[in-house]
Structure 1
Amino acid sequence: MAKEIERKFLVSGKRWRLLADAGESIKQGYLTTMDDRSLRVRVYGDGRACLTLKIGQSALERDEYEFDISPEIAAEMLDQALGTVLEKVRYRVEHKGFVWEIDVYGGRYSGLVVAEVELESAADRPELPDWVGREVTGDFRYSNQAMALSEGAIASFHEPHTQSG
């Protein structure tokens, strides 16, 4: 069984950009959601596409199953997505043995920058980079699902720590 174990943080400033890869664009939509599971579709800028099923209510650890699908089918699914199709560019930064994924949102959530770090174990304690701000692991408002469905999603994401240098 595949497990996703991750922590999520707001990003403080832009220093991370000096260390990041070129990034990849992502369009993401939800096909169905329930309290303890979701089914999403993603289309990447390079033409790849996937369908992901996540099961579990823990903010830190969930079961995750991902399947490659054709870009044509994924585009059809995005057209039928619930709520808003999220647009973001994902960058990767290596920091002290961990890979951080920084999502820079566009569209409706333009201005929001969130960093996630995937862990091998819930007991892992990665050293936080100096550009990481407030932890939002477990804050449902910052989940992609809540943002897509506007279920208590953040109303304003232009907090001072996301805009500083």
Structure 2
Amino acid sequence: MAKEIERKFLVADSAWRDFVEAEISIRQFYLATGPGRTVRIRISNGVEATLTLKFSGRGRGRDEFEYPIPLAEAEEMQAFALGHVIEKTRHHVRHGGYLYEVDVFGGELEGLVVAELETPDTVPDGRLPGWLGRDVTSEARYYNASLALGEIPEAAA
């Protein structure tokens, strides 16, 4: 089990693009959601799939369990997706010794760009990159499960 402190930010500008180390094409969907928990399938680059169980903790911390699953089974399970399937390209960007995952959404969420920082410790605001915009960590509408099930946030409209 991984214990993480997760923060989410809207992205203010494209300066991060100069520091991209890797890109991953992601298709993900949710099989179950409830207060403080989600069950997600993620297909990466069309070649590997993972089942992820997330449980909310206190504050920014969460418990996460992740398991590889056969790609064919993941493709079959998409028929049971709640809401719509999320399509995005994830970019790995390093800053100040930390890895940021910048998600550029496609499909219904075209125009939304969100950066996530998952760490075992809290990163002080003064060490965050200048291309980050508003902190949306506590805004549930920007959680991926909410994006799959809910209305499209104004940042994507």
Scaled to the shorter chain, the TM-score interval is over 0.9
Aligned equivalents of 1:94, 1:156: Cα separation in 2: 27
Aligned to 1:163: none
Question: Aligned pairs, how many?
Answer: 156
Question: How big is the shift at 1:124?
Answer: 3.4
The CA deviation string for residues 110-134 of structure 1, in whole angstroms up to 9 with x for no partner, is 000000111112x332611111000
* Counterpart secondary structure, 1:111: coil
Aligned equivalents of 2:156, 2:86: Cα separation in 1: 17
Aligned to 2:123: 124
Matched, 1:100 2:100: yes
Superposition RMSD in Å: 1.6
Question: How big is the shift at 1:3?
Answer: 1.2
Residues 37 and 57 of structure 1 are in contact (CA less than 8 Å); yes or no, is this contact kept in structure 2? no
Q: Residues 39 and 158 from structure 1, CA distance in 2 versus in 1: closer, same or farther, beyond 3 angstroms?
A: closer
Match of 1:156 among 150, 154, 157: 154
* Counterpart secondary structure, 2:20: coil
Residues 110 and 156 of structure 2 are in contact (CA less than 8 Å); yes or no, is this contact kept in structure 1? no
Aligned equivalents of 1:91, 1:21: Cα separation in 2: 7
Aligned equivalents of 1:156, 1:32: Cα separation in 2: 25
Aligned equivalents of 1:34, 1:43: Cα separation in 2: 22
Question: How big is the shift at 1:21?
Answer: 2.4
Aligned to 2:74: 74
Aligned to 1:47: 47
The CA deviation string for residues 28-60 of structure 1, in whole angstroms up to 9 with x for no partner, is 000001101110000011501000000125461
- Aligned residue type for 1:33: T
The CA deviation string for residues 48-78 of structure 1, in whole angstroms up to 9 with x for no partner, is 1000000125461111000000110111112
The normalised TM-score by structure 1 is 0.88
Unaligned stretches of 5+ in structure 1? 160-165
Matches within 5 A, 1:77-88: 77-88=77-88
Aligned residues with identical type, % of pairs:
46
* Counterpart secondary structure, 2:21: coil
The normalised TM-score by structure 2 is 0.93
Matches within 5 A, 1:33-44: 33-44=33-44
Question: How big is the shift at 1:155?
Answer: 3.6
Unaligned stretches of 5+ in structure 2? none
* Counterpart secondary structure, 1:17: helix
